[in-house]
Amino acid sequence: MAETATVPTYRRTGGIGRLLERYPFLPALVIVAALLLLNGFFSPNSLTLRALTGLLSTYMALILLAIAQTYVVYAGDIDLSAGAILSLVNVAIVVLMERWGGGAGAVFLALAIGLLLGLACGLVNGLVVAALRLQAIVATFATSIFFTGFALYVLPVAGTPAPALFWRTYGGRLFGVPFVFYILAALVILVAVMSRTRLVTQLLAVGDDQQAAYQTGLPVITTRIKGYVLCGLFSALAAFCITGDTASGDPLVGGKMTLYSVAAVVLGGSALSGGWGTVVGSLLGALTIGLINSVVFFMGTPSEWQNFVQGLAILLVLMAGVLAGRRARS
């Protein structure tokens, strides 16, 4: 992948170009704002706090999954098993909470185990891709099948409910503020802290030019493994949100979400070839996908046309982002 990542020489950037260089997620931010306006235009009710809370609690899982994906994409890798990890953690915690009685202690213990499970899955991916040097796309596709199989073993049929304590907290309010906003705030802090770590810079350096990073003396293999472990952890967090939102376990819930997470990363302005991007961009990218779905719904698109319109809208947004970037750079 390093070979395809050519960097233009003598690039002179103007004011907007420099701004974009600092904040590559700006186009995504503009698009999110535009989509919010569109939503408001088609249905003024969709901009109420209640509606936005609903949007956030539905798409918080995708946001987290997109963030998870970002860390592997930083290093020029990809994780096609992120959705499967989400499913596995989802069913594991639902089954454990039910088995342990659904009290507060059981919930926390199950969540801790869910995190460990995500970490273990990430470690497996990391070892397979970075240490064994298998192709990331195919290797993580294979582990995704494996994780899905494990999820089906844990819970063969969808439907086991999560304890009320868990989903009521997720969907409820704390001191009058919806709980998902606390999650969002915590997430922003977490991401800001993460961005200052040495690991993130090392991931980006590895993704920029793996050979150069190796020659510089960076621990390339360990760094890539750590990227996958981070991805596993954030996928587990995404699983907590999906469990809170759907209030049940479903061994196939994450399958479709994997490619959405990849799309969100790209919509957020990150380079799939690695070395370039922001987590905030991915967050906005995930919101973009959520908002597109909501616009399509509020526009009153007939159900048989919804997928068609959604796909077209994502393509349009992608194109707008690319054009904005190109214009600013020239």
Partner 1 sequence: MSKLKLSGVSKAYGATLALRRGDLELMAGEVHVLMGSNGSGKSTLCKIIAGSVRPDGGKILVDDQPVTISGPRSARAHGIGIFYQELSLAARRSVEENISLGKLPVKSRVFIDRSELRQRAARYIGLFDGVCGEGFSADTLVGNLRPDQRQLVEIMKALASEAPLLIFDEPTSALDRAQVERFFEILRDLKRRGRGIIFISHRMDEIKAIGDRVTIIRDGETITTLNLDDTDPAAVIRLMVGGAGDMPASQSSVPAVVEGKGGAALTVRDLSGRGFRNVSFEVGRGEILGFGGLHGQGQSAVLRAIFGAGSIASGEILIGDSRFDAANPRDAIRRGCAYVSGDRSRDGVISGRPIIENVTPIHYLRDRLLIARPGKLRDRVAPALESMHTKFASLFHPIGSLSGGNQQKVIIARWLIDRPDVLLLDDPTKGIDLSAKADLFALIRQLAAEGLGIVLYSSEDAELLGNANRILVFNGGSVSRELTGADRTRYNLYQAAYEAA
Taking CA atoms, 141 is separated from 34, 261, 292, in Å, by: 35, 14, 27
Strand-pairing partners, residue 177, are: 174
Does residue 199 interact with partner 1 by CB under 8 A? yes
Residue 123 neighbours by CB distance under 10 Å: 15
Residue with tokens 């930083």: 74
Contact letters (x/-) for partner 1, 148-187, by CB under 8 A?
Answer: ----------------------------------------
Does residue 214 interact with partner 1 by CB under 8 A? yes
Does residue 189 interact with partner 1 by CB under 8 A? no
Select the residue interacting with partner 1 from 135, 216, 307, 330 (CB under 8 A).
216
Select the span of 2-10, 91-99, 137-145, 257-265 touching partner 1 (CB under 8 A): 2-10
Q: Rounded to whole angstroms, how far apart are CA atoms 309 and 307?
A: 5
Select the residue interacting with partner 1 from 26, 97, 128, 204 (CB under 8 A).
204
Alpha carbon 85 to chain centroid distance? 12
Q: Rounded to whole angstroms, how far apart are CA atoms 153 and 90?
A: 13
Alpha carbon 234 to chain centroid distance? 8
- 239 in helix, strand or coil? helix
Select the span of 36-44, 124-132, 166-174, 202-210 touching partner 1 (CB under 8 A): 202-210
Does residue 201 interact with partner 1 by CB under 8 A? yes
Does residue 237 interact with partner 1 by CB under 8 A? no
Q: Rounded to whole angstroms, how far apart are CA atoms 89 and 179?
A: 21
Select the residue interacting with partner 1 from 55, 92, 119, 213 (CB under 8 A).
213
Q: 178 or 281, CB closer to partner 1? A: 281
DSSP letter string, 18-73 = HHHHH-TTHHHHHHHHHHHHHHHHH-GGGGSHHHHHHHHHHHHHHHHHHHHHHHHH
Residue with tokens 């997928």: 307
Taking CA atoms, 171 is separated from 66, 168, 183, 322, in Å, by: 21, 5, 11, 36
Report 15-34 residues binding partner 1 (CB under 8 A): 21
Select the span of 42-50, 214-222, 225-233, 295-303 touching partner 1 (CB under 8 A): 214-222
Whether 64 contacts 187, CB under 8 Å: yes
Does residue 208 interact with partner 1 by CB under 8 A? yes
Select the residue interacting with partner 1 from 4, 8, 15, 176 (CB under 8 A).
8
Q: 5 or 109, CB closer to partner 1? A: 5
Select the residue interacting with partner 1 from 39, 46, 90, 202 (CB under 8 A).
202
Q: 108 or 214, CB closer to partner 1? A: 214
Q: Rounded to whole angstroms, how far apart are CA atoms 118 and 176?
A: 32
Contact letters (x/-) for partner 1, 246-285, by CB under 8 A?
Answer: -----------------------------xx---------
Does residue 4 interact with partner 1 by CB under 8 A? no
Q: Binding residues for partner 1, per CB under 8 A? A: 5, 7-13, 21, 196-199, 201-202, 204-205, 208-209, 211-219, 275-276
